[in-house]
Structure 1
Amino acid sequence: MSAGSGSASRPRAAARRNPDAFFVLDTRSLGRRPGTMQEFHRTVTTKDRIGLDLIAIPKGSDVELDLRLQAVSEGVLITGTVAASTEGECTRCLEPFTGEVELDLTELFAYPDSATEQTTEDDEVHRLVDDTIDLEPVIIDAIGLELPLQPLCSPDCAGLCAECGVRMAIAGSDHGHEILDPRWAGLAKFATESPGTGGPDAGAADPDH
């Protein structure tokens, strides 16, 4: 681990973030009086891909934040929705597809001097730093839990043909393959090699020729 990458360095790193930009919210206008609320709406363009291996919010996509910030005794409670477009690869037919993800967000960010901040570990609760809230790690975790591990282009995707690999969606209803009993495989091979009544050397075996 490089110097300055531990938990003790996180407040200093967070303090350098740009307030009220990207996924960072400035709460100074909210104040700390319990019960005070603010509506918050923002469209954020992602700097990186957010999601799983087979499905994610692509880099450069718009993420819609529709949130409510509420001051409580221990910090700021964030509630609302996060919505964005997704791109993925179907695990049945392997075709790319697009979709939408929308999740409900409920998260408490503790004040630096609160009992919650003083009695919890760094990874147990999120914290305000210099009156700002960084939603990015919360959204990354929430999106990862919301997206399916095995995404499908449609719930009824028929996948690929097990015999030839063609997509069943375009193969047609009459698509199929004749399955030959392996016990008859030798006879079938003999028949294809001998279009007449005998094998390819049948004429040479005739004593009259």
Structure 2
Amino acid sequence: MTRYVVYLRLSKARKGEAGLGIEAQQRDVDLFLATYAHNPEVLATFTEVQSGADDDRPELAKALALVRSTPNAELLVAKLDRLSRRVSFIAKLLEDKRVTVRVACMPNADAFQLHIYAALAEQERIFISKRTIAALAVAKSRGKALGGIRPHTERRNEALKAQADARALKCITVIGPMRDSGKTLAEIASALTVMNIPTARGGKWSPTTVADILRRAA
């Protein structure tokens, strides 16, 4: 039997959507317990409305204290960013021998893979923020000369390109070292699929999608 301490979190900025956000997380947790957990026991569920960038969260502290004091207990979150948006915080927690972290939407991920996901997610957030601001500024300046509905189209196209470039930057930290070590595109695609890293559209990796990431990152 494995015991689980469930932690659900909603950002302050989305407090008005608490019902939808928490319900969605609970669905992921319930799906994990029903599909991947063997004879599970839920010890408690802690819910918090606070930014994931904050390390000092009372409800999370309570959840971790319960995990540390209970044999065979694991901390269960719906998604990794519900635990924290700071890779340093997640890395420190993964190094804690008294805590086992389980992510419902990544049921087979080990501590090493979770660390990689955390690092990639943080890089993506930083890049998207900077790139989107720059892209919108360029679109706005072009829109003044073009007029009509073109500014909206320019902003949308720039935003989509920014997202694609951010995705490439996120993935290249994993793909780059494998490519440098001599792995073929097919071998890299297979490894990414085994690691449960989704493509931009949520599908499986292929040599073509790996090549596209390498091209964009270059």
Class of the TM-score when normalised by the shorter of the 2 chains:
under 0.3
Q: Which has the higher strand share?
A: 1
- TM-score by length of structure 1 reads 0.21
Larger Rg: 1
